[in-house]
Structure 1
Amino acid sequence: MIDPAWPFFEQRHRDLARDLQGWCDDHLDDVHADDVDAACRALVHNLGEAGLLDLCVGTPDSPPDVRSLAIARATLARASGLADFAFAMQGLGSGAISLFGDEEQRADWLPGVAAGSAIAAFALTEPDTGSDAANIACRAVRDGEEWIVDGEKTYISNGTIADVITLFARTGTAEDGARGLSAFILPATAHGLTVAERIEVIAPHPLARLRLDGVRLPASALIGGEGDGFRIAMQTLNLFRVTVGAAALGFARRALDEALSFSTVRKLGEATLADHPVTQERLAEMATAIDASALLIARAAWQQDNGIADNRRAAAMAKLHATEEAQRVIDMAVQLHGGLGVTRGAKVEELYREIRALRIYEGASEVQRMVIARDLIREAHR
């Protein structure tokens, strides 16, 4: 787990880790939700009431502190995957407004995001466009003092419950590629915006496919300048990429906790499962993978907070290693639990479903490997 006593962190991070752990102990006793939408709304409200969502918002001159976000996500994920999701989406969904919004846009939306009264979403992915974001087809056309938007977005987290959506649409031609994209603030009440499909995934979250049919937005909805959308999307994703690794770290740490707890009481002949050399080997592997991920996350978050000019490689390494190793750690925990590990309701079974998506969203593992390799090659040619 991330240790705030490490030199990457300051006293404020140590205080946050202590206070947040106490809040989790009091408020997140294995959250299970029959109604995922209602549970997410309640979690956002409670996180806002506790002042924790203040960590998610910032300004162009003072962006969110990545080390604080990483500590928060690791701690929340260890307690509840849904709580981590609710927290993270408030940051990602409003990140473009924090980093690139004007004073009026920030004043209109960020207080509600921080208070938990406005739920945020980030709409980039489309049915035919995932990692190749430069090729999105959703189109916004200027009509006097308005923009008319048509298209679809899919796998939109908080899509069924959002109040405000950061929307990326094409304002240039297809030939313009990434330079033809722009970012907009889309209120969920906008006429012509509908939830076309609720998407059910293995770890239940409020995901949706959204349809935009002649949605009219005022000129003031544009974030930054026309054509800035791709840069805004990539910088927003980069701000939060390390924290995806932190969430994976929280899941992995909980898996180790569960494996230790189970193996020390599970009888195996005259001894316990934990007395068996094979089990001890697995526990050692799990702990080592977790600490390696934590150090990569701490380094990348520290670099980002301290303005290291190009930390893409460190962020990609942190996200890649933490998510891939968390999948492996959780799989080992499931294996140690035997049949119980794949039984609905067991914590390790829940973790097994929760971790899988983290290797895909906000830059799939394959993309992170490309980022790392290309950076290494560029460095070698200097």
Structure 2
Amino acid sequence: MTDRGFLSWPFFEERHRELASALEEWCEKNIHDAHAADADEACRSLVTELGRAGFLKLTVGDADRRPDVRSLALSRETLARHHGLADFAFAMQGLGSGAISLFGTIEQKREWLPRVASGEAIAAFAMTEPECGSDAANMATSAMRDGNEWVIVGEKTLISNGGIADFYVTFARTGEGEGARGLSAFIVPAEAVSVEERIETIAPHPLARLKYDNVRIPANAIIGEPGEGFRIGMETLNLFRVTVGAAALGFARRALDEALVFARDRRLGSATLADNAVTQAKLADMALAVDASALLIYRAAWQQDVGGADHRRAAAMAKLHATEAAQKVIDDAVQMHGGAGVTRGVKVEELYREIRALRIYEGASEVQRQIIAKDLLKEARQ
């Protein structure tokens, strides 16, 4: 039932349409409710299966090319429409290894990216701290050079894949300057880090608080140069920001599909819920929100792949609109379902829990508004 007409839009090439068809077929055969039984085991299994099927290759770059954002966005939309954990497993492989794909040395890429792409190694992105969420420039975790090693001390929290990752791309203060100018990025093996707490959320995903207790790593574990960590982190987040919107789009499309089926089949006397004018208006608004999000997302993804002008505003707009709109679409679908909409085990109830975090992570909605406004004001002053 899902509308696939958007694949004919000029943002896509034939390889993107082939990917969408192949991944759709894979999802129908391989994603099932058992994946939700235990989040840790489900994510490990999904990473293995996605790697075996070859889809995780999309999440990493190679020596000459960064990941294709249109492919990432299409994949996340498709996976999210089928199951939130499948999207999570795919996305975290990309975000966790993104700094290596974009800024790693040839040796770092050769060591880690094939393992990420095959599903052999689970990746994680460790930036957030207990006292430092969106304001990454003020993180407290520190790294000091000691001969041929770096020594890392500090704590990270709300780290996706925390507790199941094989390595953490970790951001720490190295002191080249104040604020954002004094941060660096490192590849830290999981066995060097202590998992202090597993964090439960309304939509179960592997999350943890990590402790770095004088963690020693080789000098060549740094990504890029000392002091480049903030730029590396922001470029990595910017690469994947559009794909967060794509995941929200997948959730919204599924909610619309569920609402259409429910409205069509729900009897109200001699008519159906779909015959009601209020229901029809609601469905129209939901479809409008979905298409608007898709246009913003795939425009921004195309801009990132093609290059040229600064695309941060387009990425921020895509992430902001898609996540906020998806929240409303899913809420409307829950309302349309009535009591069933808040019953555990019903798909729209699952979607309601899944969507909420997307308005927060990888740049909260408030941060996206700041990015958009500052870019507009910068242009206005020129």
Measure, in 1, the Cα distance between the counterparts of 2:34 and 2:185: 34
Of residues 122-131 and 265-274 in structure 1, the stretch that sits farther from structure 2 once superposed is: 265-274
Q: Give the structure 2 partner of residue 33 of structure 1.
A: 36
Asked if 2 retains the 8 angstrom alpha-carbon contact of 1:60 and 1:100, the reply is no
Matches within 5 A, 1:121-140: 121-140=124-143
Name the aligned partner's letter for residue 70 of structure 1: A
Shift of residue 4, structure 1, vs aligned partner: 2.0
Q: Give the structure 2 partner of residue 196 of structure 1.
A: 196
Shift of residue 72, structure 1, vs aligned partner: 0.2
Please give the per-residue CA displacement for 1:220-269, whole angstroms capped at 9, x wherever unaligned. Answer: 10000000100000000000000000000000000001001111111112
Measure, in 2, the Cα distance between the counterparts of 1:117 and 1:359: 30
Shift of residue 309, structure 1, vs aligned partner: 3.0
Matches within 5 A, 1:1-382: 3-59=6-62, 61-172=64-175, 176-190=178-192, 193-382=193-382
Measure, in 2, the Cα distance between the counterparts of 1:63 and 1:197: 34
TM-score by length of 1: 0.98
Shift of residue 379, structure 1, vs aligned partner: 1.0
Asked if 2 retains the 8 angstrom alpha-carbon contact of 1:31 and 1:82, the reply is no
Measure, in 2, the Cα distance between the counterparts of 1:258 and 1:308: 39
Measure, in 1, the Cα distance between the counterparts of 2:154 and 2:87: 30
Name the aligned partner's letter for residue 181 of structure 1: L
Asked if 2 retains the 8 angstrom alpha-carbon contact of 1:122 and 1:157, the reply is yes
Taking only aligned residues, the RMSD between alpha carbons, in angstroms, comes to 1.0
Shift of residue 212, structure 1, vs aligned partner: 0.6
Of residues 348-357 and 25-34 in structure 1, the stretch that sits farther from structure 2 once superposed is: 25-34
Measure, in 2, the Cα distance between the counterparts of 1:78 and 1:34: 18
Measure, in 1, the Cα distance between the counterparts of 2:280 and 2:305: 38
Shift of residue 61, structure 1, vs aligned partner: 3.4
Asked if 2 retains the 8 angstrom alpha-carbon contact of 1:156 and 1:207, the reply is yes
Query: Which runs of 5 or more residues in structure 2 are unaligned?
Result: none
Measure, in 1, the Cα distance between the counterparts of 2:310 and 2:34: 38
Secondary structure of the equivalent of 1:189? helix
Please give the per-residue CA displacement for 1:40-67, whole angstroms capped at 9, x wherever unaligned. Answer: 0000000000000000000363000000
Asked if 2 retains the 8 angstrom alpha-carbon contact of 1:60 and 1:99, the reply is no
Runs of 4+ in 1 over 4 A off after TM superposition: none
Shift of residue 29, structure 1, vs aligned partner: 2.9
Shift of residue 270, structure 1, vs aligned partner: 1.3
Secondary structure of the equivalent of 2:8? coil
Asked if 1 retains the 8 angstrom alpha-carbon contact of 2:63 and 2:106, the reply is no
Secondary structure of the equivalent of 2:191? coil
Please give the per-residue CA displacement for 1:104-161, whole angstroms capped at 9, x wherever unaligned. Answer: 1111111110000100000000000011000000010111110111100000000010
Of residues 371-380 and 79-88 in structure 1, the stretch that sits farther from structure 2 once superposed is: 371-380
Secondary structure of the equivalent of 2:196? strand
Measure, in 2, the Cα distance between the counterparts of 1:117 and 1:98: 17
Asked if 2 retains the 8 angstrom alpha-carbon contact of 1:31 and 1:80, the reply is no
Please give the per-residue CA displacement for 1:270-306, whole angstroms capped at 9, x wherever unaligned. Answer: 1111110010011000000000000000100000001
Measure, in 2, the Cα distance between the counterparts of 1:377 and 1:9: 31
Please give the per-residue CA displacement for 1:161-201, whole angstroms capped at 9, x wherever unaligned. Answer: 0001100000006x6110100000001012xx110000000
Name the aligned partner's letter for residue 247 of structure 1: A
Asked if 1 retains the 8 angstrom alpha-carbon contact of 2:293 and 2:321, the reply is yes
Measure, in 2, the Cα distance between the counterparts of 1:29 and 1:140: 43
Name the aligned partner's letter for residue 345 of structure 1: G
Measure, in 2, the Cα distance between the counterparts of 1:84 and 1:338: 27
Measure, in 1, the Cα distance between the counterparts of 2:88 and 2:36: 13
Query: Which runs of 5 or more residues in structure 1 are unaligned?
Result: none
Asked if 1 retains the 8 angstrom alpha-carbon contact of 2:69 and 2:240, the reply is yes
Shift of residue 32, structure 1, vs aligned partner: 4.3
Shift of residue 23, structure 1, vs aligned partner: 0.5
Measure, in 2, the Cα distance between the counterparts of 1:160 and 1:180: 28
Please give the per-residue CA displacement for 1:80-100, whole angstroms capped at 9, x wherever unaligned. Answer: 100000000000000001111
Secondary structure of the equivalent of 2:128? coil
Identical columns (%)? 71
Shift of residue 308, structure 1, vs aligned partner: 2.4
Name the aligned partner's letter for residue 339 of structure 2: G
